[in-house]
Amino acid sequence: MDEGHGAGSERDRRHDRRHVYIGGRWVESASARVVEVYDSVTEEVMGCAPEGHPTDVDHAVEAARAAFDEWAATPVGERAALMAKAADGLAARADELTTLITRETGMPVEGCRVVQVGGAVHFVRVAAEVAVDFAYEERIKHSLVVREPVGVVGAIAPWNFPLNQMVKKVAYAMAAGCTVVAKPSEVAPLDAYVLTEVLDEIGLPPGVFNLVPGIGPTVGQAMSAHPDVDMVSLTGSTASGTKVMQSAATTIKRVGLELGGKSANILLDDLSDDAFRDAVSQGVQRAFMNGGQICAALTRMLVPQSRLDLAEEVLSAVVGDMRVGDPFDPATVVGPLASAAHRDRVVGMIRAGLEDGAALLVGGPDRPEGVDRGYYVRPTVFTRVDNSMRIAQEEIFGPVLCLIPYRDDADAVRIANDSQYGLSGGVWSADVARAELVARRIRTGAVYVNGAATNVYAPFGGYKRSGIGREYGRFGFEEYLQIKSLHLPS
């Protein structure tokens, strides 16, 4: 249901969405107001979505509650089969979704195709697989412990990985037997309409999935506080997570939060010069993926004091040569950020680094050369950073890397843990066993040793202010289940 888009190429297509999806039908929002969505490349309006209203949330929750009992009783194999159909439907629209999300977020198109869209399709397939393989019952002496769907789930997704993060919630919740009310970010809501069209076409019972776009203080708050929402799952900033917890506390509901990070990447002193150079280069990729708009970005690079000059040399070359520009150009490494407000915030943090006395190695607050429109920020590296500086303590969420020297392993671990966050981290060493020992001392939910890949069957989530709960695999699946003990005669 695409309303009022103009002619032209997919890159120029306008997406005006003015409806919400409730109870298996597209209906008018209770709010006549819309939020305009801007193309990150052109800075022009590329569409709109409803501003949303608490009445929309009420109707969506009512539909989800009405559908819950029957959906929860649906055999898990049937639920999983529908998730597999949803994955096929998303895959069939991969080109459309890739273009749309590249425009919404600014992520270079090939990375967007693989990570944003391909990752989302894979998450839906994994949710179906986990649901079928999961052990829903276990016997403990004379008791039978059973796991049941938690109920109606409010799913709130961010703008940086809008589809990817939404399906991690929606697919797992629905596969577990929950019904869902979904709220995409108002910055990047348009891909959620494609997801909704796919779910509408596969034959989900009405009310199992509902879409209510809108702004956080209106729709997000109403969803979090709603007495008939049993769980709310948010991926977003720590500030947003705090507000969701406060709203949810009034009705004592389960809360899942995947929030911010300021992750440290420790390069140990036993690396050869060549291995060290490679680790620095790969560390840049881990920091600047999606323009640094990623919660798990490794944005603090910790290097031995004796290797600081070499790290600066490699970073100057690698970051200095990064192609910044049109994300639809295959040569582009760093595209624009997702919005004008976010660009301005990132530039403000770069200026804060300069004011606090950090040494600017590459980049800076000025607009990148060669681009006259789009929400661009120059890839920036600060060196000789003190971990107490704002740029080392606050999540910047842009292409900004802090290079921090350390004395020994204990000092590196101290610096890594000197953070309000605890989402991710990295350790590089010539000795994997030594790297593992250091990784065990880092208080984060995940640590990548020698550039290892993410495992979507292993849990992902944070310590400290990086969140509550876990996503991925059976650990993420369990978030959407309640535990009941049936005490039976022995």
Count of C-beta atoms within a 10 Å radius of residue 196: 23
pLDDT of residue 11: 86
Spans of all domains in the chain = 15-259+466-486, 264-455
Q: Quick check: is 258 catalytic?
A: yes
pLDDT of residue 376: 98
Count of C-beta atoms within a 10 Å radius of residue 463: 17
pLDDT of residue 6: 36
- Full-model pTM: 0.96
Contact (Cβ atoms closer than 8 angstroms) between residue 258 and residue 461: yes
Q: Which of 62, 186, 258, 395 is catalytic?
A: 258
pLDDT of residue 7: 34
Angle at 216 between CA 259 and CA 469, to 5 degrees: 30
Q: Quick check: is 313 catalytic?
A: no
Spatial CA neighbour of 417 closest among 400, 441, 434, 433: 441
CATH class label, 264-455 = alpha beta
Q: Which of 295, 312, 402, 478 is catalytic?
A: 295
Give the Cα separation of 260 and 294 in Å (integer).
9
Pairing of strands 45-50, 34-38: antiparallel
Residues of the chain with pLDDT under 50: 1-8
CATH class label, 15-259+466-486 = alpha beta
pLDDT of residue 2: 46
